[in-house]
Amino acid sequence: LFLENDLRQAVDRHELLLHYQPQIDLESGRLVGVEALVRWQHGQRGMISPGAFIPLAEETGLIVPIGEWVLRAACIQGRKWQQSGMPPVRVAVNISTWQVRQPDFVDMVEGILDESGFDPQLLELEITESAVMDNVQEAVRILNIFQQRGISLAMDDFGTGYSSLSSLQRLPLSKLKIDRSFIREVTSNANDAALTSSVIALGRTMGLGVVAEGVETEEQLDFLQRMNCAQVQGFLFSKPLPANEVSTLFERSF
């Protein structure tokens, strides 16, 4: 497969780059964080979105070196933002199940934090239910180490997996991210509306922040505001942006 061979070399060829999608706190209206999202600038095919190569990276295990590159690049950028005198911006990084299962995962994260000098309090790791649920005990152990370091932990794509509430309660999470598949029809589909409002209520009960992803319309925003959803992310506010455009947005926001 051509694409797989190309992907194998993408890191070494410096073909990966990160864009950052703003996350807005609804109460204050402020930008509170950004989610790092990888893109692949392919030599022949141009810019490839993660939807088109992350699944391949997951199948082949290439997500391990790619994920390490992403975390390093995000922490280096986060450190630059910190040093530029910008208000503190939390940087969220997607972590795949494969990465969590690497025996050196904790050392890798700590090494990158030390190396980059990025404040762990400003780092958020987005994990999925599948990364946690097949070995809850081990996940609890690892995530507790991160929590002790001050790193935030968000459950990504929440609602699409099979977390049990008792397992969820054992994890030191700070945030649930409602998957955008539920937000898409939240104003027209009663099931999606019910699930979304339940997750918001669950977050409140468990003392967790809740972020709705994929917010594209004023109607969706209106629904989320009525349900007291804390944070939103989506095209209505901003698409994922290159790092320099994030600084500009922050300057305007504060």
Contacting residues toward ligand G, per CB under 6 A: 21, 37-38, 49-51, 54, 63, 67, 70, 94, 96, 156-157, 180, 213-216, 234-235, 240
x/- track of binding to Mn ion for residues 50-89 (CB under 5 A): ----------------------------------------
Per-residue exposure over 240-249, b if at least 16 CB sit within 10 Å of its own CB, e if not: bbebeebbeb
Strand partners for 20: 36, 241
Q: CB-wise, 183 or 227, nearer to ligand G?
A: 183
Residue 156 touches Na ion, criterion: CB under 5 A:
yes
CB of 166 to ligand G, least distance (A): 25
Q: Which is nearer to Na ion, 33 or 116 (CB)?
A: 33
Q: How far is the CB of 72 from Mn ion (least distance, A)?
A: 18
Q: Which of 215, 159, 182, 178 is nearest to 21 (CA)?
A: 215
Binding-site partner at residue 50 among Na ion, Mn ion, ligand G, none, CB < 5 to 8 Å by type: ligand G
In the chain, count of helices (H) and strands (E)?
12, 9
Taking CA atoms, 72 is separated from 39, 45, 123, 128, 198, in Å, by 15, 25, 11, 20, 35
Strands (E), 132-213: 152-158, 175-178, 209-212
| 192 counts as binding Mn ion under rule CB under 5 A | no
Distance CA 161, CA 127 (A): 12
Examine residue 68 and tell whether it contacts Na ion (CB under 5 A): no
Q: Given the rule CB under 5 A, which residues bind Na ion? A: 156-157
